[in-house]
Amino acid sequence: MDKTAAISGVMGYVPDFRLTNAMLEEMVDTNDEWIVSRTGIKERRILKGEQAGTSVMAIEAVNRLLEKTNTATTDVDLVIAATVTPDMRFPSLANIVADKCKMPGIPAFDINAACSGFLYALNVGSQMISTGLYKKVIVVGADKMSSILNYKDRSTCILFGDGAGAVLLEPNEEGCGVLDCFMGGDGSGEKYLNLKAGGSRTPLTHELLDLGAHYVFQDGGPVFKMAVSKMAESAKLIMERNQLSAEDVHWLVPHQANKRIIDATANFAGLPIEKVMVNIEKYGNTTAATIPLCLWEWENKMNPGDNLILVAFGGGFSWGATYLKWAY
């Protein structure tokens, strides 16, 4: 790589409303003990309000990021948003964010790689900086999962929450930033995790609405197995090819889908849980927002030069890992 792209600022935004396990017990046949022992989740945030789409959270995160990093909106070259819940089918969430955050005229596009979306977007954005094309790139991962969940389906509604996280990427001359990355995919995973109705193959009809085909469908078992193997493999592969031992890694930043998947990944990589960023108990699975929300919450614990391994798995199937050196 010519130059490395480093994260020079991170910001998160989660809505105020907390949907607790006790509240879910009133809605579906479930219980706190099952949810905590099978997933690690205690509560998740839900975005309320008329016409409040994912952009509400993404805009908050990006505006606060610009302010915190003292970045003039006119200096931003590109916005990439990772999401499966854009406000509309089109225009993109990134376009809406760029407009509302007063960055007119710049390129902005979405990446749809479900729970791997932020990692994919980070990798794409960092390449755009490494080639010298751009100097300031905003990558935002945001999802309003509550807008596509069936709150009568206990197998999915307990898992997900709403949130957004954003990072600023800039060139770095000190060897910090994204040092290696890879992405993987397997479209045959479609049958295990999808949202059928409303796409071009299956346009929405009254009948499909009645069947709830416009909600997330997940066959959890096969997804769980694949998530464990791909997250673990990905972490190990990127560590090995960068000659990083478990001692060399300061932080594992895993996608937050299930505490058991996180534990298995950490175990396989030989990393103690103290080195693993975990906040699934507070937010559940916020899809494209999990990784930046972790970076945001751990920002003050990280030091310049810390080695981070980011790893994700999600719908598609999609997966990947990134090795980055923290820059500040």
- Give the one residue of 8, 39, 55, 126 binding ligand UT7; rule: CB under 6 A: 39
With contacts defined by CB under 6 A, name the span among 63-71, 86-94, 124-132, 256-264 that binds ligand UT7.
Answer: 256-264
- Give the one residue of 40, 189, 314, 316 binding ligand UT7; rule: CB under 6 A: 314
Among positions 223-252, residues that touch ligand UT7 (CB under 6 A) are: 223-224, 227
With contacts defined by CB under 6 A, name the span among 10-18, 31-39, 183-191, 205-213 that binds ligand UT7.
Answer: 31-39
In the complex, minimum distance from the CB of residue 315 to ligand UT7, in angstroms, rounded to a whole number: 6
Which residue pairs from 92-95 have beta carbons closer than 8 angstroms and sit at least 24 positions apart in sequence? 93/54, 93/55, 93/58, 93/140, 93/142, 94/140
Q: Is 257 in the site for ligand UT7 (CB under 6 A)?
A: yes
Q: 229: alpha, beta or left, given left = phi > 0 and alpha = psi -120 to 50?
A: alpha
In the complex, minimum distance from the CB of residue 258 to ligand UT7, in angstroms, rounded to a whole number: 4
Q: Is 83 in the site for ligand UT7 (CB under 6 A)?
A: no
Q: Catalytic residue among 101, 115, 157, 176, which?
A: 115
Asked about 255 being catalytic, the answer comes back as yes
Contacts of 302 (CB under 8 A, 6+ apart): 250, 251, 308, 326
DSSP β-ladder status, 217-218 and 251-254: unpaired
Enclosing H/E stretch for 6: strand 4-13
- Work out the end-to-end distance of the chain between its first and last CA atoms, rounded to an integer number of angstroms: 21
Asked about 157 being catalytic, the answer comes back as no
Give the separation between CA 10 and CA 31, rounded to whole angstroms. 35
In the complex, minimum distance from the CB of residue 31 to ligand UT7, in angstroms, rounded to a whole number: 6
Query: Could you tell me the two tokens for 104?
Result: 């007119």
User: 125 or 161: whose CB is closer to ligand UT7?
Assistant: 161
Q: Catalytic residue among 255, 258, 279, 307, which?
A: 255
Contacts of 268 (CB under 8 A, 6+ apart): 232, 235, 236
Q: Is 42 in the site for ligand UT7 (CB under 6 A)?
A: no
User: Which residue intervals of the chain are DSSP H helices?
Assistant: 21-27, 32-39, 54-68, 93-100, 117-130, 154-157, 206-211, 220-241, 259-269, 280-283, 290-298
- Give the one residue of 91, 107, 184, 220 binding ligand UT7; rule: CB under 6 A: 220
- The catalytic residue positions are 115, 255, 285
Residues found near ligand UT7 in the complex (CB under 6 A): 30, 34, 38-39, 115, 154-155, 158, 220-221, 223-224, 227, 257-258, 261, 285, 314
